[in-house]
Amino acid sequence: MRKTALTFTVTTLVLGVFGAFLRWLQLMNAFDKETGFPVPGAGVTTVLIVYCVLALAAFCVLTLLWLGRYDRAKTAETALKCTTAAPLIISWALCAAFAAAACIILFTAGTSQTPLLQRLFGAFGILAALSIPFLFGKNGGSGAGPMGRTAAAVLTVFFCFWSVFEYKAISGDPIIWRYAFEVLAITVSTMSVYYVTTYYYGVGKLPRTLIALQLGVFLNVTVIFEQRSTPLNIMVGVSAALQLMLEYLLIENLWEKHD
């Protein structure tokens, strides 16, 4: 299943790259250069929205049709089993990048308009970063023990808090539409991490989890050109990479049905 898992994850990533290109075109051409307000009837905005809808439809239809050929697990021990050391190595790299970004946010909070909220976000981000490697556990395991369940829960709550932090960050800007895709990316990421968390409690459902992860990767890659600080850009990139790796493991650990 490794080849199939790689095909799915690369396809998700490529679709996200095309989405990022369209989003970049939108940011360059669909907003007035002087006022910053969206240009009514901008063609690139329509194209981007249609493209996102088609990508979601593709994720849903292709995933549901393809999954019919395979049996799937409901627990993390089987569904997120690591057969090589690669996931653990990658998870520690993602942990380091996420923690570094969170530290910068924490220690630069004094220049923020909401310093307390930014400090909380930075501190919580460090805790979330340290949780990432425990999703996967040691080589040959899934991290499905108490540490894995705790790590998954911490990441879920962190993404919920990220939604609050994002709302407060953009609430003072009159052009909320500019941030619509970014808010959607964080929301879908929260949902996908929550669905992954259900595997650690033995009630995971693959179709919704896989579709949410694919859409989460797609949207996080799409918004990579948003105007935000470098640490937040890193966190968005890590979020995309983490969901991509989880998508890969879920597909790799499927097995064909036997009559």
pLDDT, position 4? 82
User: Are residues 56 and 181 in contact, defined by beta-carbon separation less than 8 angstroms?
Assistant: no
Indicate the pLDDT class of residue 203, thresholds 50, 70 and 90: confident
Is residue 159 within 8 Å of residue 131, measured between CB atoms? Answer: no
Question: What string of DSSP letters covers 82-136?
Answer: --SSHHHHHHHHHHHHHHHHHHHHHHTGGGSSSHHHHHHHHHHHHHHHHHGGGGT
**Residue 131 CA, distance from chain mean position:** 15
Of the ranges 27-36, 130-139, 145-154, 206-215, which is most confident? Answer: 206-215
CB 73 within 8 A of CB 253: yes
First to last CA, the chain: 19
Entry pTM: 0.90
Domain residue spans of the chain:
2-256
pLDDT digits (tens, 9 = 90+) for 57-104: 999 988 888 777 777 777 888 888 888 888 889 999 999 999 999 999
143 pLDDT more than 80: no
Task: Return all residues near 141 (Cβ < 8 A) that are at least 6 apart.
Answer: 77, 81, 82
